[in-house]
Amino acid sequence: MSPRHSQYDMIFLGGGCAALSLLVRVLRSGQFSKARFLVIDRDLKKSNDRTWCFWEKGVGYFESIVYRQWDQLDFYSTDFSSSLQLDSYCYKMIRGADFYAHCMEVLERSGQVEWVQASLTDVSRTGDQIMLKGFVESDTNFTWPLTASLVFNSIYKPPVTSTAHVDLLQHFKGWVIETKTDSFDPLCATLMDFTVSQQEGTTFVYVMPFSTRRALVEYTLFTETLLTSEAYAQGLRKYIEDKLGIMDYTMVEEEFGIIPMTTHSFEFYQEGIFNLGTAGGQTKASSGYTFQFIQKQSERIVQQLLQKKSLQDLRGDSRRFHFYDRVLLQVLAKGYWPGHKVFARLFARNKASAIFRFLDNETTVAEELSIISSLPTGPFLKGAARTLL
């Protein structure tokens, strides 16, 4: 199926979290009631293909679809274990299926959005003209010349690797398990448990209880390469049986994901197209968290549009936060200090709420210096020197 029109006010290449977060805000603003929107994605976004977890203060923009939330988080490592001081923060989870259904309802109700299911292979733009090439499910190739005032892209393409950059992957497999007896505290989640083997590199498990008998258990690694499918399963089984002491359980859902952790820079504006989400640098390189950065970027874009200001003038977070991220990635990739010790030291010597603000790029320089000073000088000076070089 090809687009019904040749001209649109906004075209979205990719219809995932970033595109939908922005488009829903644009539609709800009430200031674009005569605009025409096109979304092109290879999927229809109906499956529960992922979950987003994030910390937040107060009521968030998508509060109505928060699946579960926890006011207590635990941290475990061989060096430090404790319940974390969250202050006014709450840890929340949104399921992909709920998010997509919520956003699609807004899109359909508006009557302004056209969704085309197709895979894109090449995009070029000159002025208001955009040339799209790709194929549809039947493997029929297409070339669509369209016109649009604004084009947003959220289709991530891994950068070309080079010795000048660090390219780690945050990869994880999660099982939602159900037990026959009460096994979890639904009010308390495990943010990170580093007491598992670190043989492959920085490795931890987190546990998000949904009830006393159901929880998401996720086995996560920060490494350069992926594991075999069986290796993830073995890690999960070992944790569930040895650490949680659960022998009788049923796996009712499974998820797998890969998040880039790279020192590469991603431009917001490039050759006439505005990049969103991971493609636009909204994945925190040092942690992999993306959802809240997408929300902040979406809100900034909408405000810029409402004020009729150029999006090319939009500025993101200070570049010093990207420098901190790159230093940590150098430390982890070069083995200057083990990842489990880095996170243990951070949470042992700082309140979790301060770490959350730091990872959200919301701290002052004074607060950042306080947090950085809690880490060992030698390994991070090496990481900083390598980053600067």
What pLDDT shows up at residue 139?
A: 73
User: Measuring CA to CA, which residue among 328, 321, 336 is closest to residue 367?
Assistant: 321
Model confidence over 320-341: pLDDT tens digits?
Answer: 999 999 999 999 999 999 999 9
In angstroms, the CA 329 to CA 322 distance is 11
Task: Parse the chain into domains and list their residue ranges.
Answer: 7-49+95-160+264-313, 167-261, 319-388
CA 83 to chain centre: 24
183-193: average pLDDT:
98
What pLDDT shows up at residue 131?
A: 96
| CB-CB contact of 222 with 192 (8 Å) | no
Task: Say if strands 72-76 and 82-83 run parallel, antiparallel, or are unpaired.
Answer: antiparallel
Edge-to-edge strand list for the sheet holding 72-76: 82-83, 72-76, 188-193, 202-209, 214-223, 167-179, 249-262
| Residue 328: C-alpha distances to residues 26, 74, 166 (Å) | 36, 23, 10
In angstroms, the CA 154 to CA 165 distance is 22
Model confidence over 16-48: pLDDT tens digits?
Answer: 999 999 999 999 999 999 999 999 999 999 888
Domain 7-49+95-160+264-313 matches domain 167-261 at the CATH topology level: no
Cβ-count burial of 208 within 10 angstroms (0-12 exposed, 13-18 middle, 19+ buried)?
A: buried
What pLDDT shows up at residue 49?
A: 86
User: Measuring CA to CA, which residue among 90, 328, 77 is closest to residue 204?
Assistant: 77
What pLDDT shows up at residue 153?
A: 98
In angstroms, the CA 68 to CA 65 distance is 9
In angstroms, the CA 26 to CA 8 distance is 14
What pLDDT shows up at residue 45?
A: 92
The class (CATH top level) of 7-49+95-160+264-313 is alpha beta
User: Measuring CA to CA, which residue among 104, 139, 107, 97 is closest to residue 121?
Assistant: 139
User: Measuring CA to CA, which residue among 294, 312, 314 is closest to residue 360?
Assistant: 294
CA 260, 68, 65, 355 torsion-angle sign: negative
What pLDDT shows up at residue 160?
A: 81
Residue 102 three-state SS? helix
107-116: average pLDDT:
98
What pLDDT shows up at residue 312?
A: 95
CA 142 to chain centre: 31
Homologous superfamily of 167-261: D-Amino Acid Oxidase, subunit A, domain 2 (3.30.9.10)
In angstroms, the CA 163 to CA 113 distance is 43
In angstroms, the CA 367 to CA 351 distance is 12
What pLDDT shows up at residue 63?
A: 98
In angstroms, the CA 67 to CA 64 distance is 9
190 versus 161: which is more confidently predicted? 190
The answer on pLDDT for 95 being more than 80 is yes
| Residue 149: C-alpha distances to residues 64, 125, 167, 274, 277 (Å) | 32, 11, 35, 11, 20
In angstroms, the CA 213 to CA 211 distance is 5
User: Measuring CA to CA, which residue among 205, 208, 210 is closest to residue 237?
Assistant: 205
Model confidence over 130-144: pLDDT tens digits?
Answer: 999 999 977 789 999
Tokens coding 357: 């603000």
* Intra-chain end-to-end CA distance of the chain, in Å: 50
In angstroms, the CA 268 to CA 282 distance is 9
Phi-psi region at 244: left, alpha or beta (left = phi > 0; alpha = psi -120 to 50): alpha
What pLDDT shows up at residue 1?
A: 77
Q: List, in sequence order, every residue forming a beta bridge with 214; answer none if it has no partner.
A: 178
Q: What rounded mean pLDDT belongs to the chain?
A: 96
| CB-CB contact of 112 with 37 (8 Å) | yes
